[in-house]
Amino acid sequence: MSPRLLRALLPPVSLVLILAVIFLIQPRAMSYLGLNLMLNLALPIALATIAQLCVITVNDLDLSIGAFVSLVACVGATLLPATPLLGTGVLLALIAVYAGLGALIHWRDLPSIVVTLGMSFVWLGLAVLLLPSPGGSAPAWLSGLVKLKTPVVPFAILASAALALLVHLFLVRSSAGVVLRGAGGNPQALRRAGWSLLRVKVAMYALAGFFGVLSGLCLVGLTTSADANIALRYTLLSIAGVILGGGEFTGGRVSPVGAVIGALTLTLAGSLLSFLRISPDWQIGAQGAILIVVLALRALVNQTERRMA
């Protein structure tokens, strides 16, 4: 088996292994109800991971996506049910601000880590102002949509698969996607070809904001309420999902399908740790350990590939 194929197989193999361990520990999880319970919150995590993937594609890193998703959830639980037009306008404005961040980072050549870290406090502050204490309610249409009961396979799995396929077709298979990924892989060549790096970065940040909005709305639809801190851990989970799925921090090397698989793997890892009765205080550390093991395997595969080359 070639190292390249082995590297591509690491994300799905990791997912299958975790599923196998879960089914071994708790056989009743091997059912529609069991999968639905374990993957209940997989879709918002997958959407946040795709948002992070859009930023990583242009060699940046977003440390604000968790706070942003929390703010969107607060908007979805307060403004959207009471005044739909205002709520929709606010969500569109948030996407525009995200696009503006991409322009600012490019124009001033600022470190994305610093800018997005600063914005995380802005998003969190706005969320607290909007919803000082947990509460609110999700629009009925939103809850009905994300809690849709599909036959045979849970909705979260179907929606995640559709998300992975659509983003893969756009970002990997389309000519526009080649240009967008080129901004991270070879920006000088892209510039010489006449493409605007500014427009590419604005487009990718706008897409990140769009998927972040979808993540927040999906989350509030599932939980039926919101909290300013409801999705703060999504920042680390989204980065881990992209890297676990085969993405790289540089070079525009990303895998939408792998990123979604990575998000599902991390979601199931949380369920596995719960079955093992590991304290929630230790679960983030245990998830990090799983990520380190997978990254070590990837490093070994990459080293083998370089030797063979």
Separation in Å, CA 125 to CA 3, 68, 71, 244:
46, 10, 9, 31
- Provide the residue-wise pLDDT of the chain in tens; the chain has 309 residues: 555 666 677 788 889 988 999 999 988 888 999 999 899 899 999 999 999 999 999 999 999 999 999 999 999 999 999 999 999 999 999 999 999 999 999 999 999 999 999 999 999 999 999 999 999 999 999 999 999 999 999 999 999 999 999 999 999 999 999 899 988 888 888 888 888 999 999 999 999 999 999 999 999 999 999 999 999 999 989 998 998 888 887 777 889 999 999 999 989 888 887 887 777 667 677 767 766 777 777 777 667 766 766
Nearest to 305 by CA among 14, 9, 5: 5
Cα 255 to Cα 247: distance, rounded to the nearest angstrom: 6
Query: 135 by DSSP, 3-state: which?
Result: strand
In the chain, where the domains are located: 40-308
201-226 per-residue burial string, b: 16 or more CB within 10 A, e: under 16: bbbbbbbbbbbbbbbbbbbbbbbebb
230 beta partners: none
220 in Cβ contact with 73 (< 8 Å): yes
DSSP letter at 134? S
187 in Cβ contact with 200 (< 8 Å): no
Between the two ends of the chain, the Cα-to-Cα distance in Å is 15
pLDDT at 305: 65
Fold classification of 40-308 (topology level): ABC transporter involved in vitamin B12 uptake, BtuC (1.10.3470)
Cα 70 to Cα 223: distance, rounded to the nearest angstrom: 12
Separation in Å, CA 115 to CA 21, 101, 206, 223, 237:
40, 8, 15, 30, 19
Nearest to 298 by CA among 241, 247, 259, 255: 247
Q: What is the residue type of 241?
A: G
